[in-house]
Amino acid sequence: MEKPRPFVLINAAMSADGKIATVERRQTRISGERDSDRVDSLKAESDAIMVGVGTILADNPSLTVKSEKRREERRKARKDENPLRIVVDNQARTPVDAEILNRGEGKRIIAVSKRAIVEDMERLAEKAEILICGKEEVNLRNLLYLLWQRGVNRLMVEGGATLNWSLISQRLVDEIYIYVGNMIIGGENAPTLVDGKGFTLEEKMVKLEFLSAKRMDEGVLLRWRVRK
Ligand SMILES: NC(=O)c1ccc[n+]([C@@H]2O[C@H](COP(=O)([O-])OP(=O)(O)OC[C@H]3O[C@@H](n4cnc5c(N)ncnc54)[C@H](OP(=O)(O)O)[C@@H]3O)[C@@H](O)[C@H]2O)c1
């Protein structure tokens, strides 16, 4: 029997040509104000939010809830102001001064593999709980189980392309929100919504069920359910 895990949703913004950043892996504004507010609300409703270390190194996000009202609502519900923040980081490469470790209250987890060096883990342990979870690479299925055991029922994943592939290809995602913005970024090496190795056989491809499409700002918000 499969181990229990949280409900997992991926949220991403991509250009009309499917890129989530520029070819230099530089973050660029793809969505508008209404969509940013929607993402903030999704974040506030989640128990935890997860990113890959590539996103930390490229964008240095804090992943905090931006709206004071939503933080207040979380406090009233006896929760931390911000959801538990998790970085998937095989070698403990997250910088100690990263925004995610320093901005806003709330707990953090750095999930590492056995490849991580003790000194790097010790350095990060002052700011976050370190979970050793996997030999060469973070074992995502086990990590999700550990999160579930810690009371995480709803997990939001904020990228990037490589982590999205790992989760999707291992059938660990339930829903995908994609904001499609009104621009073309281009570049064959620019990250897309899902990178990694890719599927070659049609029967292995992950199939989606359409849930909704909504016009928002200058683009469209798509919501998909992942078929089991
Ligand atoms: N538009 C959007 O919505 C959006 C959102 C987020 C990010 N982005 C963009 O996405 C780009 C970053 O994506 P990325 O693909 O470079 O990095 P990423 O997916 O954020 O992180 C991937 C890294 O995580 C580590 N990792 C550890 N265990 C893993 C596992 N089991 N599966 C997958 N990764 C694992 C690996 O690095 P180690 O081996 O070093 O541990 C891996 O290279 C940036 O350009 C950023 O701007 C865009």
Question: Which atom, in ligand 1's list, is nearest to the CA of 20?
Answer: 1
Residue 185 in any domain: the answer is: yes
- Per-residue pLDDT band for 1 (boundaries 50, 70, 90) equals confident
What total of structural domains would you count in the chain?
1
The pLDDT value given to residue 34: 97
Residue 144: strand, helix, or coil = helix
Distance 14 CA to ligand 1 centre (A): 15
How do strand 154-157 and strand 48-52 relate by DSSP bridges? parallel
Residue 175 in any domain: the answer is: yes
pTM above 0.95, yes or no: yes
Residue 94 in any domain: the answer is: yes
Residue 142 in any domain: the answer is: yes
Residue 105: count of CB within 10 angstroms of its CB: 10
pLDDT tens, 26-72? 999 999 999 999 999 999 999 999 999 999 999 999 999 999 999 99
Residue 216 in any domain: the answer is: yes
Residue 2 in any domain: the answer is: no
Regarding the beta carbon of 185 and ligand 1, being less than 6 Å apart is answered no
The domain of 21 spans 7-226
The CATH number for 207's domain is 3.40.430.10
Alpha-carbon distance 77 to 65, whole Å? 15
Which residue is it, tokens 């905090």? 64
The pLDDT value given to residue 2: 86
pLDDT tens, 126-180? 999 999 999 999 999 999 999 999 999 999 999 999 999 999 999 999 999 999 9
Nearest CA among 7, 65, 72, 5 for reference residue 36: 65
Residue 118 in any domain: the answer is: yes
Regarding the beta carbon of 160 and ligand 1, being less than 6 Å apart is answered yes
Distance 158 CA to ligand 1 centre (A): 9
pLDDT tens, 72-131? 999 999 999 999 999 999 999 999 999 999 999 999 999 999 999 999 999 999 999 999
Which residue is it, tokens 């009202």? 69
Question: Which atom, in ligand 1's list, is nearest to the CA of 55?
Answer: 20
Distance 159 CA to ligand 1 centre (A): 6
Residue 24 in any domain: the answer is: yes
Query: How far is CA 208 from each of CA 14, 15, 181, rounded to the nearest angstrom?
Result: 18, 20, 21
Distance 109 CA to ligand 1 centre (A): 16
DSSP helix, strand, coil percent of the chain (3-state; round to 5): 25, 25, 50
Alpha-carbon distance 6 to 213, whole Å? 25
Nearest CA among 158, 89, 79 for reference residue 125: 89
3-state secondary structure 173-199: CCEEEEEECCCCCCCCCCCECCCCCCC
Regarding the beta carbon of 115 and ligand 1, being less than 6 Å apart is answered no
